[in-house]
Structure 1
């Protein structure tokens, strides 16, 4: 379900998703509003759930977490109970920075970061496979990341009917 957003809302969202450290005054100036209306719009966007979080993105490489893997995970038996158990476990694994249920031959796609291949192997053995729920994991080691963004593609949204 999409929400009604006007061009000012979209400009605010574009600014904030690219740099959440901007002050209300800076956002207001860039979108042509005074601070109070800009603040009210941002608060509305939070209240209706369009803005869900404001975070700081870190450089994994500089933190010594340069080993990244996309793991395709198939459960032995993808029952509702097993899916829920797996998802609860994933939520507690800091190595998993993204998890999605997918269609096709596997049940989940995980993005996993670790120090190195040995740390990833430990994660597989000591956490994922130790659950006793997984029948297969196909690991794809990331060699290079030509594009990574957290920004929603606001310019491809359908036009609002006004």
Structure 2
């Protein structure tokens, strides 16, 4: 497991969960899937119950509601997508929940790339926060690995397992 404590400003402490996957396909093809919510919803693992586009639908400025259900704990986030570096870095953020997800595409060649998926979550204080961080990190990492595998499967075959 990889924990990366992060200090943002002087107020909140966050922790991060990160996974990455190497793709044998065009970086642009992978990037297009990430920023297109109609396509993106097709690769979400079963823990993601829905992705509802509220504004836009593709690229910078898209706003969407993402509903997750992990072990009976349902969470709804309203995420705003920003293309921090078009073609390479996308950020999704729910300012109210304090959750930020960053997709970083690292091109290796015209037909190979690494995709790194990192989410930052608010860190709750005390022992209960420590326990939550341990449990959440492991579960989220597993879900994200499935999501990256689904991207590969979808871009290779046109369908993805849930």
TM-score normalised according to structure 1 size: 0.20
Structure ranking higher in helix proportion:
1
Rg (Cα) greater in structure: 1
TM-score by length of 2: 0.20
Greater fraction of residues in strand: 2
